[in-house]
Structure 1
Amino acid sequence: MGFAAARWRRADSLDNLDEWGLGGRGFGTFITWFLVGGDIYTAYTFVAVPALLYAGNMIGFFAVPYTIVLYPIIFVFLPRLWSVSHRHGYVTPADFIHGRFDSKALALAVAVTGILATMPYIALQLVGIQVVLEVMGIGGTSDSWFVKDLPLFIAFAVLAAYTYASGLRAPALIAFVKDALIYLVILVAVFYLPTQLGGWDGIFSAAKDKFDAANAASVAAGKPPSAGIIPAAPLHMAYFSLALGSALALFMYPHSLTGVLAARNRSVIRRNAALLPAYSFLLGLLALLGFAAIAANVQTDNAQLAVPEMMRTMFPDWFTGVAFAAIAIGALVPAAIMSIAAANLWTRNIYKAFIKPDATPAQEAKQSKLISLVVKFGALIFVLGLPNEFAINLQLLGGVWILQTFPALVGGLYTRWFHRWALLGGWAVGMVYGTWTAYQQPTAADPNAHFGSSLATIPFTETKAYIALTAFVINLLVVVVLTLVMRAAKVPEGTDHTRPEDYHADAGDPGVEELAIGDLATDTPTR
């Protein structure tokens, strides 16, 4: 389907970023719902979130409120971004930053951050595939690193090939299959598993018994209790900050914005902001599978294997295959979108801005296709080089970086009061603080490891919080202070290439490129 997608909604040529990187900018509500949902709800959903609950992590449920908080936020600001991007032909968020603040340096910072933050997120998808293969007994258990990781390299090659060939159309088409499989597997799981495990009352009781035993052992060893269903008081700020920080960060990622910019009009975005909470319900059910794995008496030292291992033991073999396919495809769809988005950032805001300003649309498309391969290779380095005791840390690490672009992107959609050099300074401080603090966090298994957690103590306090949110607050304070200084010193602000009416433009308005208009149910293009 990935390769065949090149002929779906076929354009005269895919040799430009509007077609290869944004699918022709003509997706309606139906396709966008699957595309954006497939982009947000990934292998992270199936593997990482239930793994936290299986391990008794008290803040593991943060992913559920974070998606609920997210949608009102995007309902407000994303239509403005869509409008100004379509009026000016922006392909990436960094394109908008450059046009709004007249700063190549700030646009470069946003582009580099987007590429960097996307790689651990792609890595998380590859971890999801790796987990499924390991439970199946393929790779994973071998002593040879080559044999162990060979299946992952094969998956990487398939992903790279169909992304190169079909661009954004590939994940958009595959997303239909991915979501259908995921809904099927989850609905079967939440109705079938309780009948085998003593009902949901029995599942929660089994989880509570396990956590009580773990806490008793911790207290006996002189350590504080660390497992439970409800966060203890010292972890309330950690839970809150993870939910809020993740909600603010998610649509800063270039891959999330790519799905939005591919929409046909502003109304498509608003409808999807209203409809996507259906996925939040699904995420809540998925999270509970971590407790179901405990009730199923799954024994594994790697919590990420818990849900796949439970499926292998509790489901008939044929349905286990369906469930594993859902996880694997749930990784391939977002990984493709992420690599496309990162490649577009390279092409528009590094290659065209600094290396070849006179690049033709065909040359831009070729650059994006090639860099999409490089980005996936970088993600492999994250998988093989960083600890993935809890794969969710890979996603949260990306959040530490990408949230630092929020003041420039979202602030810029409403005001130019922030000075461009102040935004660059705040970004730099937030990035340095966030990266250094994350680097200092060990894993539970190895005190000498790095990047083992996304939580750290807030400076000058004893309270732990999500590093991304702390860095964001520091970033914002620096931006405000430096803006006052720059304005007092009358440092030039640059030229704003946008106009107030650009932020409300819709398809069909003067200056907005005419796009294919189709039926909302089928997205059949008509003129």
Structure 2
Amino acid sequence: MTHSLATASGSSTGVNGVALTVLIIVFVAVTVMGFMATRWRRPKSMSSLDEWGLGGRGFGTWVTWFLLGGDLYTAYTFVAVPAAMFATGAVTGFFAVPYTIVLYPIIFVFLSRLWSVSHRHGYVTAADFVRGRYGSRGLSLAVALTGILATMPYIALQLVGIQAVLEVIGLGGSGNTLAKDLPLLIAFAVLAAYTYSSGLRAPAIIAFVKDTLIYLVIIVAVIYLPSKFGGWGHIFDAAQTKMAKPNPATGKPTGSFIPTDKQFWAYATLSLGSALALFMYPHSITGVLSSKSRNTIRRNASILPAYSFVLALLALLGWVAIAAGTKPIGLDGKPNAQLVIPQLFEDSFPSWFAGVAFAAIAVGALVPAAIMSIAAANLFTRNVYREWLRPDASHEQEAKVSKLVSLLVKFVALIFVLTMDKQNAINFQLLGGIWILQTFPAVVFGLYTRWFHRWALLAGWAVAMVYGTITAYNQVNPVTGQHFGTSVATIEGIGQMGYIAFTAFILNIVVAAVITLLLRAVKAPEGEDATIKGDYFADAGDPKVSDLPELVH
């Protein structure tokens, strides 16, 4: 099938040649940067997780800012948030803006402590900290496996973001499967190669290109597009009109222009729950631990809200697409809201600038996908391979295993994308948010107190995981009939709709608290704490525990 909307530069096959050329040029440039990153601040050896997996723990304020921005604001963020605004309105789309604002005080307060204790003890993952804090291999394994499980669909969604760009350009279509998927396979192979060779240094350098392109594209779009389509007043009117129309499948309004009083709980719990969950993801913690000092984290918590401003502008482009009459039709001839932003740019801008926008999205997929695969690999290597299989593994063996696992993780994500329906990928990512939030009590509470018993935290985690998964499965999309159809459900006891992850999180805490009281009553063994109070305030230059053999823990 040819491309659904012809472009001035598109050929008879429907491929937008100019946009594709720009995309290829940028992609080649970042590929070269990815391979050259291995020479950037090159240590004597890359054969350790500190160097390969955390970039030498030496990134300063600006590198960390770009890295965390590239890590948190993914390609799928730039595709899905405005797509949700376009399809169903503010409740499912705009909640991402307040939650990213709520997020940064959390970083400032919690993660500077995690950085300090990790610096002191050489922790590479959150599960490392849990192992040291509670002396519990089981709880550490639960945190590690949850992180890996939640990250896999997140990586897949980055590839979905690349697919959306390629589809709007006109690549793919029906016919030979290899020809359809070849561009994505090439992008995957390149990503895998430079991540394997350069580790975290590759996405750190490429993040500069990604963020520069994103800022350029969005600033131009929010200045130019409203004037092209009647101004913001007309855009908001068009969005309000669409959201008020009944959905033929359900008979209810298509969406919400602003949340109604019945949606306040859903909006609030989505925002707060997502804020608490985001920095529990392994790739977020990897970005934090790669910075060179405690104050680097705090400075980034102060300047990262600039991304929230950009995200708010980007979200509104979903409503711009409504006023523009954008028709996001896939190469299969079916409507696909995930294509709305790439399609809006192709319809509204010259092909060369559309190519820049497509490149921004594609590069925006490469950066987080690389960090996510590294983070998942670090979890497996430290908290499964070394903890359970090879306790005597050397630093070189750890780095080798992590490199191989990072390739495996990306390969599984690729298979996931190529064999499953895109909606399933989205649903599983929503499920990932439910899962990862359940690691919050063990990690964040542990930064301040050991009041919770290790077995109680494990019980709370298990109950919340089962509850969250079953509840999410029981949510059926009324249009498609698929399970995992939404991330909100009725909150027991108050009868309001709320974020499933947040409800499971409250259940997690309650179970952990009650069982802690019972275990303390029977004097169950606590487990050894490998940390001391001063560890949580350590900064760059302070000696590590390995440098203090006389220190007793």
* TM-score, normalisation: structure 2: 0.89
Alignment map for 1:98-113 (pairs within 5 Å): 98-113=131-146
Q: Which residue of 2 aligns with 1:359?
A: 393
Shift of residue 460, structure 1, vs aligned partner: 4.9
Is it true that 1:377 corresponds to 2:405 in the alignment? no
- The superposition leaves residues 152-203 of structure 1 with CA deviations (integer Å, 9 ceiling, x where unpaired) of 2222221111111100000000000000000000011011111211111121
Question: How many Å separate the matches in 1 of 2:425 and 2:228?
Answer: 29
Q: Which residue of 1 aligns with 2:337?
A: 303
Going from structure 1 to structure 2, the CA distance change for 1:109 and 1:255 (only over 3 Å counts) comes to: same
Q: Select the residue among 55, 60, 66 that pairs with 1:28.
A: 60
Question: How many Å separate the matches in 2 of 1:444 and 1:136?
Answer: 31
Alignment map for 1:447-466 (pairs within 5 Å): 447=481, 449-460=482-493, 462-466=495-499
Q: Which residue of 2 aligns with 1:439?
A: 473
Shift of residue 441, structure 1, vs aligned partner: 2.3
Q: Secondary structure at the match of 1:470?
A: helix
Going from structure 1 to structure 2, the CA distance change for 1:476 and 1:511 (only over 3 Å counts) comes to: same
Q: Is the 8 A contact 2:250 2:479 kept in 1?
A: no
What letter is aligned with 1:171? P
Please list every run of 5 or more consecutive structure 1 residues that lacks an aligned counterpart in the other structure: 515-527
Please list every run of 5 or more consecutive structure 2 residues that lacks an aligned counterpart in the other structure: 1-32, 329-334, 548-553
- The superposition leaves residues 424-467 of structure 1 with CA deviations (integer Å, 9 ceiling, x where unpaired) of 111111111111222222334321x2222211222355322111
- The superposition leaves residues 32-88 of structure 1 with CA deviations (integer Å, 9 ceiling, x where unpaired) of 000011100111221000000111334021000000010011110111101100100
Q: Is the 8 A contact 1:251 1:257 kept in 2?
A: yes
Going from structure 1 to structure 2, the CA distance change for 1:98 and 1:467 (only over 3 Å counts) comes to: same
Q: Which residue of 2 aligns with 1:411?
A: 445
Is it true that 1:293 corresponds to 2:321 in the alignment? yes
Q: Is the 8 A contact 1:48 1:391 kept in 2?
A: no
Q: Secondary structure at the match of 1:106?
A: helix
Question: How many Å separate the matches in 1 of 2:487 and 2:498?
Answer: 8
Q: Secondary structure at the match of 1:478?
A: helix
Alignment map for 1:192-341 (pairs within 5 Å): 192-212=224-244, 214-215=245-246, 223-300=251-328, 301-341=335-375
The aligned length equals 508
Q: Is the 8 A contact 1:54 1:294 kept in 2?
A: yes
Is it true that 1:184 corresponds to 2:216 in the alignment? yes
Q: Which residue of 1 aligns with 2:87?
A: 55
- The superposition leaves residues 67-112 of structure 1 with CA deviations (integer Å, 9 ceiling, x where unpaired) of 0010011110111101100100101110000000000111000000
Question: How many Å separate the matches in 2 of 1:27 and 1:362?
Answer: 22
Shift of residue 145, structure 1, vs aligned partner: 4.4
Q: Which residue of 1 aligns with 2:551?
A: none
Going from structure 1 to structure 2, the CA distance change for 1:143 and 1:455 (only over 3 Å counts) comes to: farther
Is it true that 1:13 corresponds to 2:54 in the alignment? no
Shift of residue 123, structure 1, vs aligned partner: 1.4
* TM-score, normalisation: structure 1: 0.93
- The superposition leaves residues 383-409 of structure 1 with CA deviations (integer Å, 9 ceiling, x where unpaired) of 345543497545432110100000000
Shift of residue 146, structure 1, vs aligned partner: 4.1
Q: Is the 8 A contact 1:123 1:394 kept in 2?
A: no
Q: Which residue of 2 aligns with 1:44?
A: 76
Question: How many Å separate the matches in 1 of 2:338 and 2:306?
Answer: 25
Moved more, 280-289 or 435-444: 435-444
Question: How many Å separate the matches in 1 of 2:414 and 2:492?
Answer: 33
Question: How many Å separate the matches in 1 of 2:310 and 2:497?
Answer: 29
What letter is aligned with 2:122? G
Question: How many Å separate the matches in 2 of 1:251 and 1:24?
Answer: 21
Question: How many Å separate the matches in 2 of 1:32 and 1:409?
Answer: 22
Q: Which residue of 2 aligns with 1:116?
A: 149
Q: Is the 8 A contact 2:475 2:483 kept in 1?
A: yes
Is it true that 1:174 corresponds to 2:206 in the alignment? yes
Moved more, 390-399 or 180-189: 390-399
Moved more, 456-465 or 427-436: 456-465
Q: Which residue of 2 aligns with 1:348?
A: 382
Q: Which residue of 2 aligns with 1:524?
A: none
Q: Is the 8 A contact 2:144 2:380 kept in 1?
A: yes
Question: How many Å separate the matches in 2 of 1:56 and 1:178?
Answer: 28
Q: Select the residue among 115, 139, 157 that pairs with 1:82.
A: 115
Runs of 4+ in structure 1 displaced over 6 angstroms? none
- The superposition leaves residues 340-365 of structure 1 with CA deviations (integer Å, 9 ceiling, x where unpaired) of 00000000000000111111101000
What letter is aligned with 2:485? G
What letter is aligned with 1:50? P
Q: Secondary structure at the match of 2:528?
A: coil
Question: How many Å separate the matches in 2 of 1:254 and 1:370?
Answer: 18
Question: How many Å separate the matches in 2 of 1:390 and 1:184?
Answer: 32
Q: Select the residue among 402, 413, 421 that pairs with 1:368.
A: 402
Q: Is the 8 A contact 1:405 1:427 kept in 2?
A: yes
Q: Secondary structure at the match of 1:3?
A: helix
Q: Which residue of 2 aligns with 1:499?
A: 532
Going from structure 1 to structure 2, the CA distance change for 1:513 and 1:44 (only over 3 Å counts) comes to: farther
Question: How many Å separate the matches in 2 of 1:106 and 1:165?
Answer: 32
Q: Secondary structure at the match of 1:456?
A: strand
What letter is aligned with 2:196? Y
Q: Secondary structure at the match of 2:542?
A: coil
Q: Is the 8 A contact 1:434 1:471 kept in 2?
A: yes
Going from structure 1 to structure 2, the CA distance change for 1:352 and 1:82 (only over 3 Å counts) comes to: same
Shift of residue 472, structure 1, vs aligned partner: 0.6
Going from structure 1 to structure 2, the CA distance change for 1:450 and 1:387 (only over 3 Å counts) comes to: farther
Q: Is the 8 A contact 1:6 1:165 kept in 2?
A: yes
What letter is aligned with 1:182? I
Q: Secondary structure at the match of 2:256?
A: coil
